[in-house]
Amino acid sequence: MIRKDTPIIDDNACLLVIDVQLDFCPGGALAVEQGDQVVPPINGLLTLFNNIVLTQDWHPAGHYSFTSSHDGSQPFSSIQMPYGAQTLWPDHCIQNSSGAEFHPDLNTSAAQALIRQGYRREIDSYSAFFENDGETKTGLQGWLATKQISSVYLAGLATDYCVAYSALDAARLGFDVNVLLPACRGIDLDGSLSLQLDKMSQAGVTLLEKLPE
Ligand code: VGL
Ligand code: ZN
């Protein structure tokens, strides 16, 4: 569903700020076009929510999602992993590297929790809830349950990967899910952006075209 009006944020809502890291911004290793432009709207959103969680893509060197870990493979191609298809990416968001840092203008101090993703070498994690095997939990679901959160609002990078996978898992888990589109930017690999927007709509995710103020 596409909604043009703005929702009301309450204590049972949580803002999930997905992967606003330098490697996903212009000049970074896996730059998303206009990725840095999500920072001002997200900083504005941070003032509206009482519950805020950040996610951070956090790979060890030699992570299996990197093209460089598979001899003779092409960046952005797909390979078969034990858990299914995996896109190969340029080396990005390596633990403790400058590219893994949050954008310096992002107001991270407002967040209560930080979920790191993709820290095991053998498995990637696009979703903030489950690793790419679809079953290993990150702990976010439990955190939100403990806080009695029923609605999640997602913003960040990339719309068609970590944002979409997180939104789809949240919907499957029974949350009311809202994606704040003006505060997201996508990679759009082989039509992935429209595909994931459609998937989210079909899963009952609300795609907000206007930010709450
Ligand atoms: C992401 C590709 C690889 C994301 C992370 O944050 O959307 N995409 N790793
Ligand atoms: Zn990654």
**pLDDT at site 43:** 97
- pLDDT of 8 higher than 90: no
- Residue 66: phi, psi to the nearest 5? -90, 135
Span from the CA of 24 to the centroid of ligand 1 (angstroms): 8
The number of CA neighbours under 13 Å toward the Cβ of 111 is 17
Span from the CA of 39 to the centroid of ligand 1 (angstroms): 17
Query: Quick one: which ligand is closest to 56's CA?
Result: 1
CA atoms 28, 64, 114, 1: torsion sign: positive
Confidence grade of residue 83 (pLDDT, cut at 50, 70, 90): very high
- pLDDT of 2 higher than 90: no
Contact (Cβ atoms closer than 8 angstroms) between residue 75 and residue 188: no
- From atom 6 of ligand 1, which residue's Cα is the shortest distance away? 162
* First vs last C-alpha separation in the chain: 20
Low-confidence winner among 9-13, 79-83, 126-130, 148-152 (lowest mean pLDDT) = 9-13
157 pocket-lining for ligand 1 (C-beta < 6 Å): yes
25 pocket-lining for ligand 1 (C-beta < 6 Å): no
Q: What is the mean pLDDT of the chain?
A: 96
Span from the CA of 57 to the centroid of ligand 2 (angstroms): 5
DSSP 179: E
pTM of the model: 0.96
Which residues, in sequence order, are CB contacts of 139 under 8 Å at separation 6+?
Answer: 115
Which residue(s) pair with 13 in the sheet? 151
Confidence grade of residue 213 (pLDDT, cut at 50, 70, 90): confident
Homologous superfamily of domain range 2-59+96-208: Isochorismatase-like (3.40.50.850)
161 pocket-lining for ligand 1 (C-beta < 6 Å): yes
- The Cα–Cα gap between 79 and 64 comes to 10
How much is the average pLDDT of 97-101? Answer: 98
Report every protein residue that has its C-beta within 5 angstroms of ion ligand 2.
Answer: 57, 118
31 pocket-lining for ligand 1 (C-beta < 6 Å): no
- The Cα–Cα gap between 19 and 150 comes to 22
- The Cα–Cα gap between 88 and 60 comes to 15
